[in-house]
């Protein structure tokens, strides 16, 4: 197959199916050197891209305006490409089992428009075996073609970190795999066009699939350990951050901190591994325990808020609680699987309906997914409690006076500050008499 040379000479095109936080940056990156078709089912999103708007904030509006990518929601346009990249989300169901509907749907769409000589590369996070046992049969059924003869398939897990302006697609080593040496070679060469630090060739598709779920599971477990310490240290009256900073003076400390673990990767991927392990008769112990701890942290923070309100002599049910941040991480508009939602739910158990401020989050998504109205920070006043839940730059820049202006007029010991991300100066706030708590 001379597909790589044909792509380079613009005789053939690349398509990216799924233009979210992962797919869109990939499409734009490839669009700088080859012809790219960007496909998404969301008509509104496609119209935003066509208008030069980047709702993900990943590459910025100017990059969208300048890109040569053909943005479309017409699946027939995919017939014009022979190298397809699938970057759709892989969420979990309410029972924590994998929801493969998006990747199955993408396989059906590509299959209907697949032509001989094509390569399909899946980037969506899945458990080992999904690409070959689930996706390939769909591609064959929909196309009438035979994998390995008429088309090839590979897997290259996405490693983009939404909101991260330092670790980008071009400087993160890309894991690549294929069903045979020929496809692996072509896939590697194609990705090397945009990944300047190079690729790592996995020996099989299953190895590449496994690498993705375990790298996020490893991080999840480490954060869970720190969260468990935070829970225990809170009971002991010990400052967790001070302990971590002392521990991190040792050369082999891992540098993890406690926090809310949400989003579409770390908070989801371990369940894919757990699911497949249990199908094989192994009940996960460490990974599942880590997930349970991290899934409980929103409620833990919610309980801490209520406790601090009581200590500040506030009537809990009538308390005005303001939460700064709804997205799953700082400086990113992505609210998927945000554990701030768990804080909101826990406060609701006590009759508290918090006010939500987030300059990054999409107002309509917040209303649809979490049932909350996002308000402007400048409208906040007379608060009893301020919760810094997400470390957006807008919140990091706030001074103590800025935060104090959000409260009602009362003694500082009646003003509750909950610092989930530990971004404030604890000693200064305590010296000023605030009722302060950090994770």
Distance (Å, whole) CA 293 – CA 337: 15
Position 207 in a domain: no
Position 115 in a domain: yes
Position 41 in a domain: yes
User: For 436, phi and psi rounded to 5 degrees?
Assistant: -110, 140
Distance (Å, whole) CA 431 – CA 410: 16
Please state, rounded to an integer, the average pLDDT across all residues of the chain: 94
Distance (Å, whole) CA 340 – CA 249: 31
Same-domain check for residues 197 and 269? no
Average pLDDT over residues 305-311: 97
Own/partner contacts of 141-147, CB < 8 Å, gap of 24 or more, are: 141/111, 142/107, 142/108, 142/110, 142/111, 142/112, 142/114, 143/111, 143/112, 143/114, 145/114, 145/116, 147/179
Position 257 in a domain: yes
Same-domain check for residues 105 and 242? no
- So what's the pLDDT on residue 88? 96
Same-domain check for residues 37 and 151? yes
CA distances from residue 126 to 18, 142, 162, 316 in whole angstroms, order as listed: 15, 21, 19, 43
Asked whether the predicted pLDDT for residue 164 surpasses 80, the reply is no
Same-domain check for residues 236 and 376? yes
Question: Number of structural domains, the chain?
Answer: 2
* 16-30, 255-269, 299-313, 409-423: the lowest-pLDDT one: 255-269
Same-domain check for residues 197 and 239? no
* pLDDT tens, residue by residue, 69-97: 999 999 999 999 999 999 999 999 989 99
**Catalytic residue numbers?**
265
> Which CATH number does the domain housing residue 146 bear?
3.40.50.720
pTM, rounded to two decimals: 0.91
**Range of 128's domain?**
3-201
Average pLDDT over residues 405-432: 95
Distance (Å, whole) CA 433 – CA 436: 8
Same-domain check for residues 274 and 162? no
User: For 297, phi and psi rounded to 5 degrees?
Assistant: -70, -30
Structure confidence at residue 268 as a pLDDT band (50, 70, 90): confident
Of the residues 140, 167, 201, which one is the last residue of a structural domain? 201
Distance from chain centroid for Cα 172: 16
Average pLDDT over residues 148-167: 85
Asked whether the predicted pLDDT for residue 159 surpasses 90, the reply is no
- 162 Cβ neighbours under 8 A, 6+ residues apart: 21, 22, 56, 58, 263, 329, 332, 334
Radius of gyration of the chain (CA): 24
By DSSP bridging, strand 435-438 and strand 416-419 are: parallel
- So what's the pLDDT on residue 162? 67
């Amino acid at each position: 197959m001379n597909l790589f040379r044909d792509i380079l000479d613009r005789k053939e095109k690349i398509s990216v199916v799924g233009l979210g936080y992962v797919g869109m940056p990939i499409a734009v990156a490839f669009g700088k050197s080859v012809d790219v078709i960007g496909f998404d089912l969301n008509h509104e999103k496609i119209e935003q891209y066509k208008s030069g708007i980047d709702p993900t904030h990943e590459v910025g509006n100017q990059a969208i305006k300048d890109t040569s990518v053909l943005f479309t929601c017409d699946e027939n346009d995919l017939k014009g490409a022979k190298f397809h990249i699938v970057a759709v989300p892989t969420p979990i169901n309410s029972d924590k089992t994998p929801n493969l509907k998006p990747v199955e749907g993408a396989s059906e769409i590509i299959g209907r428009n697949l032509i001989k000589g094509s390569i399909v590369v899946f980037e969506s996070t899945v458990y080992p075996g999904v690409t070959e046992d689930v996706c390939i049969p769909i591609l064959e059924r929909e196309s009438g073609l035979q994998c390995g003869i008429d088309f090839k398939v590979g897997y290259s897990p996405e490693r983009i970190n939404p909101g991260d302006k330092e670790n980008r697609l071009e400087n993160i080593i890309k894991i690549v795999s294929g069903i045979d040496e020929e496809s692996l070679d072509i896939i590697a060469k194609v990705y090397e066009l945009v990944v300047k630090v190079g690729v790592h060739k996995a020996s099989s598709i299953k190895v590449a699939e496994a690498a993705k779920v375990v790298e996020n599971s490893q991080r999840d477990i480490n954060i869970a350990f720190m969260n468990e310490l935070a829970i225990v240290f809170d009971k002991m009256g010990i400052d967790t951050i001070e302990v971590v900073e002392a521990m991190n003076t040792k050369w082999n400390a891992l540098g993890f901190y406690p926090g809310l673990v949400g989003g579409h990767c770390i908070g989801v991927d371990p369940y894919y591994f757990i699911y497949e392990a249990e199908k094989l008769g192994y009940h996960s112990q460490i990974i599942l325990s880590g997930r349970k701890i991290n899934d409980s942290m929103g409620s833990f923070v919610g309980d801490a808020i209520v406790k601090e309100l009581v200590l500040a002599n506030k009537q809990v049910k009538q308390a005005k609680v303001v939460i700064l941040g709804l997205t799953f991480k700082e400086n990113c508009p992505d609210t998927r699987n945000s554990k701030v939602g768990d804080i909101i739910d826990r406060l609701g158990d006590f009759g508290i309906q918090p006010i939500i401020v987030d300059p990054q989050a999409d107002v309509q998504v917040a209303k649809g997914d979490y049932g909350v109205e996002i308000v402007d920070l400048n409208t906040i006043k007379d608060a009893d409690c301020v919760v810094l839940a997400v470390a957006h730059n807008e919140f990091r820049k706030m001074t103590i006076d800025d935060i104090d202006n959000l409260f009602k007029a009362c003694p500082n010991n009646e003003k509750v500050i909950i610092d989930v991300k530990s971004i404030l100066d604890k000693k200064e706030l305590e010296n000023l008499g605030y009722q302060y708590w950090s994770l």
